[in-house]
Amino acid sequence: MLLYRLLNFVLFPLTMGYVIWKTIKHKQLRYLQQRCGLGLSAIPKNAIWIHCASVGEVNTVLPLVYELHKRHSKQNFLITTNTPTGAEIVLNQQQAWLFHAYLPFDWLFAIKLFIASTQPRACYILETELWPNLFSLVNHAGIPLTIINGRLSAKTLKTYAWIRRVLGKLLQMTNHIYARTEDDRAGFIQLGADAGKVTVIGNLKYAPPVISDSSAKILSRGYVVVASTHHDEEIQIAQNWLALDRGELLVIAPRHPERRDEIIHALKQLTGGIAVRSRHDEITRDTKIYLLDTVGELTNWFENAMFIIMGGSFVPVGGHNLLEPAHFGKVVICGPSMHNFKEEIELMLHNGAAIQISNLDELRGSIQRLLVDADALQKIEANVRTTAAHFSNIIDQYADIVDSVVNT
């Protein structure tokens, strides 16, 4: 821990420079203030605090937060994130009992200020956000600290020995660790967690997502959603789509909406029939592609989609959560890069509930098949619904865990 704090001190100018750069980039003074543990006066004390790294983790935890609100209607909840996109999803919920703050950078002074200002009732860390100063000071303040949906990568387990020792000490500061799988449990124990304090519950990402109102529900035209795309995927998928010359609409939702200008420029080389959500463009008969460049709306568009193409899987990113559309009974086509969701894709493929292709050259044929072969589409959809039904109680299990701490 001493070596970590020494490095933290030495690197302070660089990390502060990074925070300032992000503040300028996103034009958010709040980002700078809260990353330094300031600007927290609007956050109520005694809230249940849940930390999520970014967009994916926020989407994962929101169904749990809504379930907890049903059980504890007078309880306030605070979600902290590292990123502005994660923040936007929380703020878009527009709930009087749900608050957002940026997690202070792991500087001692910033964490101390945060804890003193917010005085949370309990702290829940989602997945693998292991920050030494954060864990140490939360533990010292007597705030119950729990890891939920815990996961560990092989990379973490193979890191430098001194880092593993630090992480092991952090894990010993937790009240309990609720892991996604037996492999994750074994990893936490290998890293230094007390075996009696690590329990396998399941993957919170298997839970049904939160749904809010969306204009997608009144869109009469058939459409296919390309979800969470990254650089170069939009143009290649659009090329395959336009080559089919279909009457349905292609809805592209980039993982990072701030790339909209780059994406629009690229797509205009293929077609003039582009409409953009953030510009409130009208979808006409001539519209071929609709760019869903907003935050927090994607899952609403899953509901009436014909099927889903999962971005981040045709470039070496590792894919995104294909179980979100699965809860709507939607078939997902994904590419070869799904290593971040290895268990999920294996489960879906084993049950005949998803389609994985080797490269973009195969995409056109897969799209064509699902568009013209209704029987094939419905057969896979039935498998999707059967698979997703097995995870309907995962939210209750995690809510019971929070209750066990909150009610004590």
Backbone angles phi, psi at 198, to 5 degrees: -125, 120
Least confident of 26-40, 199-213, 286-300, 326-340: 199-213
pLDDT of residue 331: 97
Q: Give the per-residue pLDDT at 211.
A: 67
Domains 2-11+24-207+393-406 and 215-389 alike in fold: yes
pLDDT at residue 128, as a whole number: 86
Q: Is the pLDDT of residue 92 over 80?
A: yes
Task: Say whether pLDDT at 356 is over 50.
Answer: yes
Write down the pLDDT at residue 313. 97
Q: What is the per-residue pLDDT for 337? A: 96
The pLDDT value given to residue 408: 61
- pTM higher than the cut 0.85: no
> Mean of the pLDDT values across residues 342-353?
93
At 287-338, the pLDDT tens digits run 999 999 988 788 889 989 999 999 999 999 999 989 889 989 999 999 999 9
- Which pLDDT band, with edges at 50, 70 and 90, does 215 fall under? very low
pLDDT category at 83 given cuts 50, 70, 90 is very high
Q: How confident is the model at residue 109 (pLDDT cuts 50, 70, 90)?
A: very high
**Region 122-126: what's the mean pLDDT?**
97
CA atoms within 13 A of residue 110's CA, in its CB half-sphere: 25
- Average pLDDT on 109-127 reads 97
Residue spans of the domains in the chain: they are 2-11+24-207+393-406, 215-389
What is the sign, positive or negative, of the torsion defined by CA atoms of 319, 320, 322, 325? negative
State the pLDDT at residue 209.
77
What is the per-residue pLDDT for 296?
A: 78
Say whether pLDDT at 134 is over 90. yes
pLDDT at residue 126 is higher than 80? yes
Whether 2 has a pLDDT exceeding 80, the answer reads no
Q: Are the beta carbons of 49 and 80 closer than 8 angstroms?
A: yes
pLDDT digits (tens, 9 = 90+) for 71-81: 999 999 999 99
pLDDT of residue 212: 61
Q: Selecting from 3.90.950.20, 3.50.50.60, 3.40.50.20, 3.40.50.2000, what CATH number does the domain 215-389 have?
A: 3.40.50.2000
Residue 220 has pLDDT above 60, yes or no: yes
Q: What pLDDT shows up at residue 403? A: 85
Task: State residue 218's pLDDT score.
Answer: 57
Higher pLDDT among residues 153 and 383, named by residue: 383
Question: In angstroms, what CA-CA distances link 127 with 9, 171, 177, 286?
Answer: 26, 12, 10, 44
Across the range 139-164, mean pLDDT stands at 90
pLDDT for the residue 1: 73
What percentage of residues in the chain have a pLDDT greater than 90? Answer: 77
Q: Which class in CATH covers the domain with range 2-11+24-207+393-406?
A: alpha beta
Higher pLDDT, 350 or 206: 350
